[in-house]
Each structure stands twice: as C-alpha cells, then as structure tokens.
C-alpha cells in the first residue's frame, strides 16, 4: 500500500522544525520580492501565504485539525493548477504543441501540471488520501507517531523527577 500521504505530511520533530523555519522564512520574505503590486499579484501572494499557513498548521496541529489543514493545502494547489491551465488555454496567445521545446509557461505544461499534480491534489482534498483504496482501520496498538513521541517524552520526564515528594 502507498504511504505517499504519510511521507508527505508526516515526519519527525526535527524535520518538521526545519521545514517550519523554511516555510516561515519564505512567507516573510516572499512579499518583499514583489516589485509592482497589482490585484493579480496580491491574490497570488495571499494564496501563497495561506498555503504556508496551512502547511505549518499541518505540521503541528493535533491529528483532526492536521488532516483538515493538509486537505486545505491540497485544495489550494489544485485551484492554482486549475487557474494556470485556464489562463494558458483561454487567455494566453501561445499555441498548444505536444512536441518541441516548451520554454517558460505553455498550455502543454499547464495541462501536464494539472494532470500530474492538480488532479492528485483534488483526489486528496476530496477523499483524504492519495490511493484509490481506503486504508485499513488502524489496529488498537497503532496510533499517531507524534502522539507516541509526546507519550515517550512524558514517561522520560516522569522518571527524571528529582523533587522530593511532600505527603
């Protein structure tokens, strides 16, 4: 069975921390890179900032909210690729070619991106998984790895309690 979704949205605490710092730096510095603000650039920047917020929320929130944040992120990616495809097919003057060099944006690249990235993101948004089959229900002893880490830390901290107990 595919573990793509768990690999994409899972990870250890150190990896989540590193990615959080990188995403927050991107979110803080990206608006500074925009030269002339227009409505279109403002909407794109707002969508990028919302994607960053959803990604960071997907890293750190409890499981029920984490899944919603990740589904919001995949919905935004789907909408971005749908907008790119519509823009290239109907509003650009570039011809649609299946072969040859496609430098820069092109209708063919928009279609390929929509098929390879946009549609799987739509699937994850609607069904909460990237696979066609529903995952089996977790066993009783299986849980969220992040919850296991917190439980292990609590057990370690409980054993290291050096304060004298007052009856």
3-state class percentages of the chain: helix first, strand second, coil last, to nearest 5? 70, 0, 30
pLDDT at 149: 59
Q: d(Cα 164, Cα 167) in Å, to the nearest integer?
A: 10
The pLDDT assigned to 138 comes to: 63
Residue 61's closest CA among 9, 22, 128, 7?
9
Report field, pTM of the whole predicted structure over 0.85: no
Per-residue pLDDT of the chain (167 residues; tens, 9 = 90+): 456 656 655 667 888 889 999 999 999 999 999 999 999 899 999 999 999 999 999 988 888 898 899 999 999 999 999 999 999 989 888 777 777 666 778 888 899 999 999 999 999 999 888 787 777 776 665 555 555 555 666 666 665 555 555 65
| CA–CA gap between residue 25 and residue 101 (Å, rounded) | 34
């Amino acid at each position: 069975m595919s573990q793509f979704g768990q690999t994409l949205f899972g990870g250890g605490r150190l990896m989540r921390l590193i990615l959080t710092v990188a995403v927050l730096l991107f979110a803080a510095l990206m608006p500074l890179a925009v030269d002339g603000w227009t409505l279109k650039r403002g909407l794109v920047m707002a969508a990028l900032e919302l994607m960053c917020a959803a990604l960071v929320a997907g890293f750190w929130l409890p499981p029920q909210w984490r899944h919603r944040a990740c589904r919001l992120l995949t919905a935004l990616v789907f909408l971005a690729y749908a907008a790119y495809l519509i823009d290239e097919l109907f509003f650009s003057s570039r011809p649609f070619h299946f072969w040859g060099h496609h430098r820069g944006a092109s209708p063919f690249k928009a279609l390929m991106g929509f098929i390879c990235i946009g549609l799987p993101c739509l699937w994850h948004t609607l069904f909460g998984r990237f696979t066609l089959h529903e995952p089996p229900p977790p066993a009783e002893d299986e849980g969220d790895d992040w919850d296991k880490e917190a439980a292990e830390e609590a057990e370690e901290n409980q054993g290291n309690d050096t304060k004298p107990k007052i009856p």
